[in-house]
């Protein structure tokens, strides 16, 4: 069986604004029908990459392929790409119908077909019958649905979504996450989504590309990037993991690491480590138990702060040597108060080990 051509492929692309290199050596292959998210802090180059697919910025090196065809020389108007922006960018004086029909008229689709397709797209975004309304008569969430309808109505090869949810309030954001995902699945369209919001990325994506300062830190499924961060940056950016510096103090069988805080923990290492090597033990706040401690590793400390969240609480715990760790643990009986002594536990397999330079071992 021949391998299917990727929907979009970046081959070692560089993008510069004048002398400033915003994206360096970016490579990524996106499978047809998948939902891929570019995730990273502000300024890391996510939008720049998205815009390069649409032809809105020029690449200074490398190649971009859509369906196996080089597109760097194809002008914008010939690229078959749907775009949704953070600001809905609807034409304010045009009706919903004319907004959604725009890409079809532009492509000289016959009138009856335009009416049919606009109707279908409005059904898809659950705003049937809104053809005659003006954008100003719609809520933010509804306007974003219209923007989505406008982007998918001409069945583009790729749908680009640039922080489409960030202008919406929290409730609407969650609803639209589910909505966008459903529409993407139902249409089978290949989607590339840009966000700096880790929850959005984790909940919506088939694959996540974590970016930092113009380069890729890690590409993987949501579970992979969350459970097995490749670098200290990824561990910190997704879920603010505890990063405990230490030194390997015992090898053979279990590996023991003596933390800078003075306490020793057992860890599962994927390969044998030399005694004395410096490592960082990465533990997610959710992997730590508090109170009725489970797990082979026990750390003792003192609660610095406790925030009650309903079913669980977030604790900041001083474990000595100037190290505070965060635990997000279910409440066992009662919330442990500030100043109280406490034990924190985790399993040797419940952590990831990074080397001194911050790369996963």
List contacts with ligand ATP (CB under 6 A).
17, 20, 22, 40, 42-48, 196
> Quick one: 48 or 242, whose CB is closer to ligand ATP?
48
How far apart are the two ends of the chain, measured CA to CA in Å? 36
> Quick one: 198 or 323, whose CB is closer to ligand ATP?
198
* Residues making up the chain, counted from first to last: 361
Dist CA 119 CA 224 (whole Å)? 40
> Quick one: 43 or 321, whose CB is closer to ligand ATP?
43
CB count, 10 Å around CB of 262? 11
CB of 339 to ligand ATP, least distance (A): 40
CB of 261 to ligand ATP, least distance (A): 35
CB of 284 to ligand ATP, least distance (A): 25
> Quick one: 38 or 148, whose CB is closer to ligand ATP?
38
> Quick one: 109 or 213, whose CB is closer to ligand ATP?
213
324: β partners: 318
Q: What is the DSSP string of 109-165?
A: --HHHHHHHHHHHHHHTT-TT-TT--GGGS-HHHHHHHHHHHHHTT--SEEEEESTT
Q: What is the helix (H) or strand (E) element at residue 22, kind and residue range?
A: strand 20-30
CB of 163 to ligand ATP, least distance (A): 7
CB of 58 to ligand ATP, least distance (A): 11
Question: What are the DSSP E strand ranges found in 144-269?
Answer: 158-162, 190-195, 207-212, 215-220, 242-250, 255-259, 264-267
């Amino acid at each position: 069986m021949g391998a299917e051509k990727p929907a979009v492929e970046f081959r070692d692309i560089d993008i510069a604004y004048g002398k400033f290199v915003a994206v360096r050596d970016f490579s990524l292959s996106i499978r047809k029908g998948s939902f891929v998210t570019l995730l990273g802090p502000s300024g890391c180059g996510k939008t720049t990459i998205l815009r390069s697919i649409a032809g809105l910025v020029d690449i200074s090196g490398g190649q971009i392929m859509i369906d196996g065809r080089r597109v760097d020389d194809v002008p914008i108007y010939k690229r078959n790409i749907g775009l949704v922006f953070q600001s809905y960018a609807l034409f304010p004086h045009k009706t919903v119908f004319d907004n959604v029909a725009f890409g079809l008229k532009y492509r000289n689709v016959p009138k009856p077909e335009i009416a049919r397709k606009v109707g279908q797209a409005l059904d898809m975004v659950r705003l049937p019958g809104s053809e005659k309304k003006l954008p100003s008569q719609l809520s933010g969430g509804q306007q974003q649905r219209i923007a989505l309808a406008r982007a998918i109505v001409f069945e583009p090869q790729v749908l680009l979504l640039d922080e489409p949810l960030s202008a919406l309030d929290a409730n609407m954001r969650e609803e639209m996450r589910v909505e966008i995902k459903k529409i993407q699945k139902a249409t089978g369209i290949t989607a590339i989504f840009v966000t700096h919001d880790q929850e959005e990325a984790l909940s919506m994506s088939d694959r996540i590309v974590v970016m930092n300062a113009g380069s890729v830190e890690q590409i993987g499924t949501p579970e992979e990037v969350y459970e097995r961060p490749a670098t200290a940056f990824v561990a910190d950016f997704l879920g603010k993991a505890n990063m405990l510096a230490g030194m390997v103090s015992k090898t053979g069988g279990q590996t023991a690491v003596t933390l800078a805080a003075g306490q020793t923990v057992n860890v599962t290492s994927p390969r044998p480590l030399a005694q004395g090597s410096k490592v960082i033990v990465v533990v997610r706040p959710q992997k730590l138990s508090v109170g009725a401690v489970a797990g082979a590793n026990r750390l003792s400390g003192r609660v610095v702060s406790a925030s009650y969240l309903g079913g669980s609480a977030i604790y900041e715990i001083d474990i000595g040597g100037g190290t505070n760790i965060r635990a997000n643990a279910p409440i066992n009986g009662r919330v442990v108060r500030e100043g109280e002594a406490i034990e924190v536990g985790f399993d040797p397999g419940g952590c990831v080990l990074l080397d001194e330079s911050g790369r996963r071992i």
